Every structure is written in structure tokens, then in C-alpha cells.
């Protein structure tokens, strides 16, 4: 049973949002988690493409959220970057959970 929701972006911007304030205002809708994730590589700061629009690196958004929180500056999806569990593991991007 899902006890949380995820935020999937609804914006259809042709250019990335550049101010943090505007990033937080991008439209999204709450949905059940679809379980999407991507492996992002093993570098300490991997390039991370959005799960939904795949347009660009997602943006650091920890100022109003928990460490690891990211928001896509094109579509507004809220995502979470997990550090590797094992020493030689990969970073994983999945959906941020809202309880
Ligand atoms: Zn996106």
C-alpha cells in the first residue's frame, strides 16, 4: 500500500526555469508512484536526466526539501537522488515521496 504520493510535473517549458523561486512554482500533480527510476553512474556528481521529459539535468532543490531532492527545470517533476548503497554502486534517481 502506498502511504505517499509523488509529484509529476505538468509544465511544458521549452527553456529551463532559471530562478529557484520559479522552480518551486512549476505545476505538478500528485499521483501514485509509478516506480520509475534511472541509474545515474558512479561519479561523485553524476549527470542526471529527468525521468519524465529526459531533457536535462535535474536541479538541486534542497533549500525547501530534504537532502537529495531535485526538481526538473523543464517539466517540474520532483525527484530524489540516492547516493550509492555499496562502495562501487551507482547513484539512483527515483521519485521524491510526499507523506
Ligand atoms: Zn522533466
pLDDT in tens, 49-89: 999 999 888 999 999 899 999 999 999 999 999 999 888 89
Closest CA to 97 of 17, 2, 18, 27: 2
* Angle, vertex CA 59, rays to CA 94 and CA 50, nearest 5: 45
CA of 94 to the centre of ligand 1 (A): 12
Domain count, the chain: 1
CA of 29 to the centre of ligand 1 (A): 13
CA of 2 to the centre of ligand 1 (A): 23
State the cell numbers at 40: 545515474
Domain around 17: 1-99
Confidence of residue 46 (pLDDT cuts 50, 70, 90): confident
CA of 70 to the centre of ligand 1 (A): 10
Burial 38-62 (b: 16+ CB within 10 A, else e): bebeeeeebebbbbbbeeebbbebe
Amino acid at each position: 500500500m502506498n502511504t505517499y504520493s509523488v509529484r509529476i510535473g505538468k509544465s511544458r517549458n521549452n527553456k529551463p526555469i532559471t530562478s529557484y523561486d520559479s522552480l518551486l512554482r512549476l505545476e505538478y500533480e500528485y499521483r501514485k508512484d509509478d516506480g520509475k527510476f534511472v541509474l545515474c553512474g558512479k561519479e561523485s556528481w553524476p549527470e542526471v536526466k529527468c525521468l519524465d521529459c529526459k531533457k536535462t539535468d535535474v536541479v538541486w532543490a534542497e533549500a525547501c526539501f530534504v537532502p537529495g531532492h531535485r526538481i526538473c527545470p523543464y517539466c517540474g517533476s520532483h525527484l530524489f537522488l540516492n547516493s550509492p548503497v555499496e562502495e562501487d554502486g551507482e547513484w539512483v534517481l527515483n521519485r521524491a515521496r510526499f507523506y
